[in-house]
Structure 1
């Protein structure tokens, strides 16, 4: 059986935000899980960097760990900060941009 959760030490306490680092002018990511039903990815996004408009095949929940970002969904901008979350509906066009350098956990759930 393959690992369902990877890139972390099992049976050890860790801090999600420490697993991925912000680098100047970059978007960094680390996949923690990818199955036919879910994808879990950490992102570290520098200020004024991000991902252009795209859509996902499942509902996507963004959980901001540090900093502030703007998630634009169906043309509506939502500013989200540390400790806040937002759900992007499946198929909705969306983009992500760092207001400040920020880190987020993205969980995408696909229909079975």
Structure 2
């Protein structure tokens, strides 16, 4: 059977936050799964970077692993820092901006 989760060793403990590095002036990403019903991606946002307002076809849960982010959902801004998470509901406009450089694990369920 082919692996459903890729880009990470199976049956071996790992530190999620260390699987991706910050890149100057960029949003770096590492995809673990991208299937019709689910997407799991690790992101590293450099300071000053973000994702413009958009709506996702499924519920999106962002878990901040390092740093601090501003998450804007339907026009309302929330601050999330390392150890915190937030859910962005399907079809609702949202955006992500860095307050400091930050890393997050994003899971989208459709």
TM-score, structure 2 normalization: 0.97
2:95 — aligned with what?
Answer: 95
Cα separation, 2, equivalents of 1:104 and 1:6: 17
Q: Which runs of 5+ in 1 are unaligned?
A: none
Q: How many residues are aligned here?
A: 110
1:86 — aligned with what?
Answer: 86
Cα separation, 2, equivalents of 1:31 and 1:92: 23
SS in 2 for 1:11: coil
For residues 4-50 of structure 1, the C-alpha deviation after alignment (integer angstroms, 9 at most, x for no partner) is: 10000111110111111111111000100111111000000011101
Q: Pairwise CA RMSD of aligned residues?
A: 0.8
Cα separation, 1, equivalents of 2:77 and 2:47: 16
Q: Which runs of 5+ in 2 are unaligned?
A: none
Report deviation, 1:2: 3.1
2:60 — aligned with what?
Answer: 60
Q: Which runs of 4+ in 1 moved over 3 A?
A: none
1:35 — aligned with what?
Answer: 35
For residues 69-105 of structure 1, the C-alpha deviation after alignment (integer angstroms, 9 at most, x for no partner) is: 0011101111100000000000111111110010000
Asked if 1:104 is matched to 2:104, the reply is yes
Asked if 1:47 is matched to 2:47, the reply is yes
